[in-house]
Structure 1
Amino acid sequence: MQYLSDPAGRQNFEPAYIAVRKAEQRVYDDAQVRRLPQVDAGHPHAREWALRRGSLARLLADLQRGGAVHTILDLGCGNGWMTHRLGALPGSRVLGLDLNAYELDQAARVFADRPQLAFAYGDIFEDILPPASVTQIILASCIQYFPDLPALIERLLPLLAADGQIHILDSPFYTPQTIEAARQRTRDYYAGLGFPEMAGFYFHHQQNELARFRPQVCYDPASWGQKLSRRLGGKTSSPFVWLKISAGEAGR
């Protein structure tokens, strides 16, 4: 694991985040990380991981179309499980980037035998990556840790090659009618865990914030087919939309 940004002054988030992850039983040993998104049926988050398997399968199928070879940025990679799975795409290279040294160290250790993978500690808002250097950027279950979603997309677009894409998945969006209640639930949740300060690092976004980037809806949980699948007990029918922002369509 390499450092692309100076960790000094950034430690206020990581200890609280890891403590919460441990309280939620979301910190895994090395053997478990290597298996993810597969978990034992009795695991406390087995249902969630079934959903993640479904969204990963859809993403991989999309990226494999046409036999393209990708250079991928997995932003907010955590323990690197998705970075690992993306690295299975033939010929592709993947950088897992995060500000969580604890899990990055684990990712680098667990997947040290995968030369197509690299892991780095870095602030995406710093000039740590060259322009037009990646073909795909993955934002999986991480937009809630960025306070300004449009600013994030604006920052990422110059990193894309001309035909590059940004994928947002496994992430909640809210409506004007639900967002305040969601913020209160977040405050109550972290207070109940004993880490009220974490609420200040968790941000709630609305899908319309992305309108000017003209995202394509690749998976819509509100479609009648997905609603029916969930009603019938579909284990991989995610409740979260999958959005794709293309460099050309976003008006860069």
Structure 2
Amino acid sequence: MEPLSDHTEQGVFLLSPPEPAFCDAYQTYLQKTNRCYDDAEVREFPSTFFYNLHRQSWMYRKKTLDRFIPYLKRNAQPRRILDLGCGTGWLAARLAGLPQTEVVGLDLCMPLVTQAARVFSMPNLQFACGDIFEDILPKGSFDLISLCDAIAWFPHLPSLINRCREFLQPGGELHILESFLGSEKQKEAAEEATELAFTEAGIPELSRMYHHHLRQELAPYDFRFMYRPSRFKAWLGIQDSPHPWVRITN
């Protein structure tokens, strides 16, 4: 893969200046909610060790991955993929395991991508720190962009989608995974629950940085629900992700 930049630090390409305010707040969130993981745990994600306090959430992510990877294999072709909001890089690494792919994992939080670069060393995988709303990557340079458990950290979903589309080839795909997309009523309930959870964790200020988005915000785009949560499955006691998988075609 061609280097993304001449500037690197601890194996991470520095594409724009880090944002300490966001990164510090996010790191506090991870610490307060027991989501700081060692390298051995990150290497196994989405599988988890028995002592992980968030095993159920990771089980949901594994089910999502078990749908997403076969979809990509069925549509096999050489791909350049951006995993936006990659965090510790577990999804980017799984995507890089597919044949004929080149994957870039991008995140604003330098400690997370530093861990990602340390844990996952693959010739077709690069990690970078940067702001997607800065001019850090060539337009039209990706065939697919994934956003897994990431859109809540962006305040305006249409602006994020429009920006991602600028980096996609014509016919390229944006995939939103493991992210809340609900009705007005569901959004109100989710916001109340999130505010309470952050307050109980001692980080009430984070509720202003965490955003719940509406399904209706997808209306202007060529989108399809590739998976939707099933009330019937839940009634039967079948555990699966409570969040949809959405594909937007450029």
TM-score when scaled to structure 1? 0.91
Compare the two structures and name the one with the higher strand fraction. 2
Which residue identity lines up with residue 185 of structure 1 in the other structure? A
1:1-252 maps to which residues of 2 (within 5 A)? 1-7=12-18, 10-112=19-121, 114-221=122-229, 226-235=230-239, 237-247=240-250
1:16 and 1:95 mapped to 2: Cα distance? 24
Q: What code does the residue aligned with 2:30 have?
A: R
- Counterpart-to-counterpart distance in 1, 2:75 and 2:188: 43
Instruction: State the one-letter code of the partner of 1:29.
Output: D
Is the partner of 1:155 in helix, strand or coil? helix
Query: Distance in 2 between the 1:33 and 1:242 partners?
Result: 23
Residue-pair matches, total = 239
Q: What is the CA distance between 1:158 and its match in structure 2?
A: 1.7
Per-residue displacement from partner, 1:112-142 (whole Å, max 9, x unpaired)?
2x11110001110111111111000001111
Match for 2:249: what amino acid? S
Query: How big is each residue's C-alpha offset from its partner over 1:22-69, in whole Å with a ceiling of 9 and x where there is no partner?
Result: 222211101111111111234211111111001011111111114212
Q: CA deviation at 1:180?
A: 2.7
Cα deviation, 1:163-210, whole Å, max 9, x if unaligned, reads 210001100123122323322322222111111111111011101011
How far apart are the structure 2 equivalents of 1:72 and 1:66? 14
Residues 234 and 42 of structure 1: is their aligned pair in 2 closer, same or farther, counting only changes over 3 Å? farther
Give the partner amino acid of 1:135: D
Structure 2 unaligned runs (5+)?
1-11
Residue segments in structure 1 that go unaligned for 5+ positions in a row:
248-252
Q: Which runs of 4+ in 1 moved over 6 A?
A: none
The aligned residue for residue 9 of structure 2 is none
What is the DSSP-based 3-state SS (H/G/I as helix, E as strand, rest coil) of the residue aligned with 1:13?
A: helix
Q: Secondary structure at the match of 2:171?
A: strand
- The C-alpha deviation readout for 1:200-235, integer Å capped at 9, x for no partner, is 1101110101100031111111xxxx3333333334
Distance 1:68 1:57 in 2: 19
2:114 & 2:33 partners in 1: Cα distance? 20
**Structural RMSD (CA):** 1.3
CA distance in 2, matches of 1:66, 1:157: 20
- 1-side partners of 2:99 and 2:234: how far apart? 32
SS at match of 1:244: strand
Identity of aligned residues (%): 40
Q: Show the counterpart of 2:3.
A: none
